[in-house]
Amino acid sequence: MSSKATQFRPILLHPRYWLTWLGFALWRLITTLPFPLLLLLGKGIGLLVYTLPTRRKTIARRNIEICFPELSAEQQRAMLRANFINTGIALMEVGIAWWWPKKRFAKLLQFEGLENLEAVKDRGIMILGIHYTTLEIGASGIASQWPMKGMYRAHGNPVYDFLQAKGRLNKAIGDGVVFERRDVRGTMKALKNGASLWYGPDQDYGLQQGLFAPFFGVQAATVYATARFAEKTGAAVVPFSHIRLPGSQGYKITVYPALEQFPSGDDLVDATRINQLVEQFVRLQPEQYLWVHRRFKNRPPGEDDLYNLPAKKKRKRR
């Protein structure tokens, strides 16, 4: 069943959410600024956060050390700093993707390979993306050129949930449907009916629907749903990338040919192939990847935790 998050509900006007509405209003106001100023503001936010000894900074640093051991310590620090700059800019990019008028947004985008979607338009399509910091730009950009369904992760704050779902459909052409990422039945039905759907396979969701496969030469819990969905629905798997260009040039969105001989029927082979593809995309612009996620959170039996983070403090119940 498609998500109802885009439907307005009375609970959204409850006083406890007024500050949320105010925050989003200010955010939207800021994103009306010229693009170069938004980049500069995002860079400043990223550099400020970089100076703080945060948990996310520790995670990002460790991920870079794990995935790029060939780099010197100085080069790894430079990548970490650049990554936080990109993460700060991403805050501005969310607002651009959700709220900029379509005509203004389109001026930022360069497309390559859209014919690869046309080549498989008679089937459902899993448009395979990864968690670049430019994720919202990429998703909104491809949805502005190709009819597709949206996906989102439900948020505990209903106002955030509502605005997120609405924002992700702002540039979309088509019927304007979004699915919560756990809605397996709804997404499979849509793919069987010939819909196109964004799908990101590059986060650690545990082993309930996944297995260990190499990623940057290290075992990582990897979902096998990419292959399973393709097998059960007959959908094509079409990868695409979206990277921020230097200066104020905007973004390049590239669509690649559909994967051939996929799935193979072997979950490990298929998961490894997807991880290799993700790795290739990361290497296009490694500082633009979402390194603050614990990609190696789960470990094979007998292996130590790779992050060694202090335990989170539990909130006291009132």
Q: Provide the 10 A C-beta neighbour count for residue 33.
A: 14
Instruction: Answer with the residue of higher pLDDT: 299 or 6.
Output: 299
Closest by Cα among 158, 126, 220, 204 to 7: 158
Contacts of residue 229, defined as CB under 8 A and 6 or more positions apart, other chains included, come to: 126, 187, 188, 191, 199, 235
Bridge partners (DSSP) of residue 220 are 213
Q: Which residue has the tokens 């979607």?
A: 117
Q: In what order do the strands lie in the sheet with 109-112?
A: 109-112, 251-255, 236-244, 125-128, 196-199
Strands 236-244 and 251-255: antiparallel
pTM beyond 0.75: the answer is yes
Q: Is the pLDDT of residue 111 over 80?
A: yes
Strand partners, 244: 251
pLDDT of residue 209: 85
- In the predicted model, what is the mean pLDDT of the chain? 92
Evaluate whether 300 touches 68 at the Cβ level (below 8 Å). no
**Which H/E stretch holds residue 313?**
none
Torsion angle defined by CA atoms of residues 248, 250, 276 and 273, in that order, rounded to the nearest 10 degrees: 180
Sign, Cα dihedral of 200, 203, 205, 210: positive
Beta strands in the chain (DSSP E): 109-112, 125-128, 150-152, 178-180, 196-199, 210-215, 218-223, 236-244, 251-255
For residue 263, cis peptide bond before it (omega within 30 degrees of 0): yes
Strand ranges, E, within 160-271: 178-180, 196-199, 210-215, 218-223, 236-244, 251-255
The pLDDT confidence band at residue 148, using thresholds 50, 70 and 90, is confident
Angle at CA of residue 311, ends 307 and 314, nearest 5°: 150
Q: Is the pLDDT of residue 293 over 90?
A: yes
Report yes or no: 297 and 307 within 8 Å, Cβ to Cβ. Answer: yes
For the stretch 180-225, pLDDT in tens is 777 888 889 999 999 999 989 999 988 888 999 999 999 999 999 9
Q: What is the pLDDT of residues 213-243, one digit of tens each?
A: 999 999 999 999 999 999 999 999 999 999 9
Which pLDDT band, with edges at 50, 70 and 90, does 169 fall under? confident
Q: Is the pLDDT of residue 135 over 60?
A: yes
pLDDT of 4: 60
- Who has greater pLDDT, 33 or 156? 33
pLDDT band at 313 (very low <50, low <70, confident <90, very high): low
The CATH architecture annotation of domain 10-288 reads 3-Layer(aba) Sandwich (3.40)
Give the model confidence (pLDDT) of 16-59 as tens digits: 999 999 999 999 999 999 999 999 999 999 999 999 999 999 99
Percentage with pLDDT > 70 across the chain: 94
Predicted confidence (pLDDT) at residue 131 exceeds the cutoff of 90: yes
Give residues with Cβ within 8 angstroms of 21, minimum separation 6: 159
Instruction: Indicate if the pLDDT at residue 129 is higher than 80.
Output: yes
* pLDDT, tens digit (0-9, with 9 covering 90-100), for 56-70: 999 999 999 999 999
For the chain, the structural domain boundaries read 10-288
pLDDT over threshold 80, residue 154 = no
